[in-house]
Amino acid sequence: MKCPFCGVTDSRVIDSRPTDEGSTIRRRRECASCQKRFTTYEIVEQVPLVVIKKDGSRQTFDRMKLLASMLRACEKRTVPLGELEAVSAGIEQELQNSLEREIPSSLVGELVMARLKSLDEVAYVRFASVYRQFKDINTFMEELHKLINAP
């Protein structure tokens, strides 16, 4: 690691400790030449996920956009924000673990609906009505009947 004070690349690690719930390592270093100390951070590099939209366009995956859509579906419901944040983080982690770099938006939508269904059925129906673009009351009622008749 290059010293920010004198530019020498020879330094030693004095202290290491995890930060940000273990996702980052903080290292205190000391320069072998000028003996000044400095801090570095080590993080895991994540390859960005690309979402392929229905029209074929590509967009970088954005967890905040996902969270915002779930918040809209849960408006005036008793679903805690912490649970929605955990769901969005879980979906992002699942997509990262899939090792696919390009994910169809349909997969993201299905993952959200599966999780919302167990959290809050009203939020699930709200999200599904927008995601599946219900054309009329009959398609809406079909989805409700599926929900009611599910074991």
- Please state the pTM of the whole predicted model: 0.63
- CA gap 25, 44 in Å, rounded: 9
- Nearest CA to 30 out of 55, 51, 3 is that of 3
- Sequence ranges of the domains in the chain: 11-43, 50-149
User: Which residue do the tokens 């008749």 mark?
Assistant: 149
pLDDT in tens, 16-37: 999 877 778 999 999 999 999 9
Beta carbons within 8 Å of 51's beta carbon, 6+ residues apart: 58, 59, 60, 61, 102, 103, 104, 105, 108
pLDDT in tens, 97-148: 888 899 999 999 989 989 998 898 888 888 887 777 766 677 767 777 777 7
Using DSSP bridges, classify how beta strands 11-19 and 50-52 pair: parallel, antiparallel or unpaired: unpaired
Portion of the chain with pLDDT greater than 70, in percent = 97
Mean per-residue pLDDT, 43-62: 90
Joined together, the tokens standing for residue 71 give 């918040």
